[in-house]
Amino acid sequence: MHKRLAALVMAGVAAFALQMPAYAAAADVDLDTRVHALSEQLRCLVCQNQTLADSNADLAVDLRRQIREQLRAGATEAAVKDYLVQRYGDFVLYRPPVKPLTYLLWFGPALLLMAVVFGIVSSRKQQKAPPAEMDADAQARLAALLAGSLPEDPRP
C-alpha cells in the first residue's frame, strides 16, 4: 500500500511538473518571437559578423537576456534598440542609419574598391611603355648574337 501511494504521489507531481513548462512556454512564445526578431537586427559586439540571435558569445547571451527583460517589462522594440544604440553606438545595429557618422561604414567599401581599380589601371598604363628603339650598333650586335657569332665590341 505504501508503494502504491508513493507511486501515485510521484505520478501526480510528475504530471504537474510536466504541465508547468508547457504553460510557461506557451505564454512566452510571443515574447520569444519578439526577442528573436529584435536579436536578428542587432550585431554581436564580440563576433561582429553575427547577429545577436546567431552568436553564442557571453555578451550576446547577456544582451538577449536584457532584451527579454525589457520587452517583458513592456518596452517597445524601438525603445530597446534606442537603449542599445545609446549604450553601444550605431555599430550594434546590423543596418545602421546613413548619417555623417556612418558615411565611412556605408561608402567605405565602394571607395576602397574604386581606389584599388584606379591603382590597377594606373600601374597597367605605366607597364605599357613603348619599347626603346635600338641604334644601329645595338641592332648589329643583336643580329650577330642571333646568328651565333659575336663581333668585337667597338666600345672601349
When pLDDT is averaged across residues 29-53 and rounded to a whole number, the result is 88
Structure-model confidence comparison of residues 129 and 134, the more confident one = 134
Domain membership of residue 67 (yes or no) is: yes
In the DSSP assignment, the letter for residue 95 is S
Q: Is residue 154 part of a domain?
A: no
DSSP 3-state assignment of 41? coil
Per-residue pLDDT at 80: 93
Question: Is 139 contained in some domain?
Answer: no
151 in a domain, yes or no?
A: no
What CA–CA distance (Å, rounded) separates 70 from 79? 9
Q: Please report whether residue 24 resides in a domain.
A: yes
113, 73: one domain:
no
Q: Does any domain span residue 43?
A: yes
20, containing H or E segment? helix 2-40
How many domains would you assign to the chain?
2
Fill in the DSSP letter of residue 50: S
- pTM score: 0.54
Residues 52 and 119 occupy one common structural domain: no
CB 62 within 8 A of CB 44: no
Task: Record the cell numbers describing residue 1, joined without a space.
Answer: 500500500
One domain, residues 16 and 77 = yes
Considering the domain architecture, whether residues 111 and 46 belong to the same structural domain is answered as no
Residues of the domain holding 9: 1-92
Check if the beta carbon of residue 98 is closer than 8 Å to that of residue 105.
no
The arithmetic mean of pLDDT across residues 74-82, rounded, is 92
pLDDT at 145 over 80: yes
Say if residue 71's pLDDT is above 70.
yes
Res 152 pLDDT > 80: no
Does one domain contain both 79 and 7? yes
Q: Are residues 35 and 67 in the same domain?
A: yes
Same domain, yes or no, for 3 and 76?
A: yes
Q: How far apart are CA 53 and CA 47, in angstroms?
A: 12
